[in-house]
Structure formats: C-alpha cells, structure tokens
Amino acid sequence: MDSSYSLISVSWLDVLIGSGLIAVAIGFSYFQGFRLEKDLVIGAVRSVLQLVFIGYALMYIFNITSVWPTSGILLLMALIAAITARGRIRPPYPGAIPILWFSMAVGSFVSVAFITLIAIRNPQAISPRYLVPLGSMMIGNALNGLSLGGERFRSELLAQRDRVESLLAMGATSARAAADCTRAAFVAAMIPTLNMMMVIGLIQIPGIMTGQILAGVNPLDAARYQLLVIFMMAGGKVIVMTLALHLGGRKYFTRSHQLRTELL
C-alpha cells in the first residue's frame, strides 16, 4: 500500500447527496411512465436499513472467535436465499425450500471451505471477517442461479410437455425425459457468471477488487483476491445448480415417472 494514501471517509451527508441519483431515477420513471417509482423507493429504503443493520451486526460478528456461530449465520443467509428463490418459481414445487436450502448450503460450504482451507491456507481465513463476506457473495450469486434455473426448468417442461410425456410413455425415466430441460435450465443459470468471467477486467472492475483498490491495496493483490472469489462463485454455483435441478426436477414427476402437469 502507498504510504501516502489514505482512505477517503464517506459521511452520511455524502450518502444523502448520493441518493440524489435515486431521485433522478424516480423522476425518469414517472415522466416516462415506467411505473418503477414505488420499487425504487422501497429498494432504496431497504438498502439503507439492511446495510446499516449488517454494518452494526458485523462489528459484533467479527469479534466472534468460534466458527460455529459464523456457520449458523451463513445457514440463515442460505435459508433466506432459498425462500427468495422459491418465490421466483411459480408455482413452486412441493418441498422447494428444503431442497433449495440444502443445495445452497452444500454448494456454498464446499466452495468457501475449498478457498479458505485449501487455496488460502491461512488460519485467519476461517475467521468471521473472511467467512461471512465470502459466504454471502457465494450465496447471493447462487440465488440468482436458482431463480433463473428454477423458472427456466419449469418453463422448458411446459414448452416440451408433449415430447417429455412421449418419452415417458416409451419407458424413459423422468431424468432422461427431462434431460434437455435440465440442460437448458443449467445453462441459463450459468450465463450471468460466464458473461462476467469473459469480460471481467475489460469493461468492469468487480466489487471486491474495487473495494480493495479504494482501500489502498496493491491492484495486483486485489486481483488475486478477486480471482479466488470468481473461482469460488463459478465452482460453487455449479454444485448448487446440479443439486437443485437434480433434486427439484424429481418433484415434477410422480414415483411412477408421470409428469405432474398441475405444477406447470
């Protein structure tokens, strides 16, 4: 870090002034008839409340020395993400929340554990200061995948209903009959992450790298951290989506491999 560099402190007045951009967005939405004013206001208010809350909460969490309370916090985050993802799948399939929660928890645990225990190999990496931010980024990224993939799987089943039922009638298992639907859903879920990986550093300096650079960290050090995060999110998302589509896809079929059309 440059010894002459000092982090610019941002006051609440600065934040208030910055919120003027939200006011501009609301004005554009109103005059153009986009009808997003309410969502923008609610989103802005929730952003303030949630970030202030997590800011105070992290001040306490970072003082925790045991890994178990931190694991509980991440499991709670995964549960909230699972509930949110379930709301995007309409109508939701039976047992959606436990399946999505399990998929989210396993994928996030495996990817974060690999990065902290195997890649970084530093005892400090299993402290809340590392685990909570890394876990939250993994869970947030997986949430987008679950929402996109879950809805895409259902819509593909609906579009390919005749084909799927024909395959089932000829003796195919539900997994075989829905293989193309699963593949399309998996690709749809991974597209945002793949797009990010293709252009990262060219048209976008991503979040963790930007934050570290603003804090005065050497850009190359920041780039290494960002690479670990990218690999964590991509690998973890594959695990999450594989589990979610495999376990959730079964719910659209009966035990005798018949399509449950009422879920479409």
Q: What is the largest CA-CA distance in the chain?
A: 73
Least Cα distance to 251 among 102, 147, 107, 99 occurs for 99
Task: Report the amino acid identity of residue 82.
Answer: A
CB 216 within 8 A of CB 1: yes
Sequence-distant (≥ 6) Cβ neighbours of residue 8 within 8 angstroms: 214
What would the two tokens of residue 235 be?
């690998």
Distance CA 206, CA 145 (A): 18
Task: Tell me the residue type at 123.
Answer: P
Q: Domain extents for the chain?
A: 8-61, 66-263
pLDDT tens column, 120-177: 998 888 899 899 999 999 999 999 999 999 999 999 999 999 999 999 999 999 999 9
What's the token pair of residue 151? 């809805």
**Which of these, 187, 177, 175, 191, lies nearest to 246 by C-alpha position?**
175
User: pTM for the complete prediction?
Assistant: 0.86
Q: pLDDT by residue (tens digit) across 193-245?
A: 999 999 888 887 887 888 888 888 888 999 999 999 999 999 999 999 999 99
Confidence of residue 88 (pLDDT cuts 50, 70, 90): confident
Q: What percent of the chain is modeled with pLDDT above 90?
A: 73
Structure tokens at 250: 């079964």
Q: Which residues pair with 204 in a beta bridge?
A: 200
Res 5: pLDDT:
64
Specify the pLDDT at position 10. Answer: 87
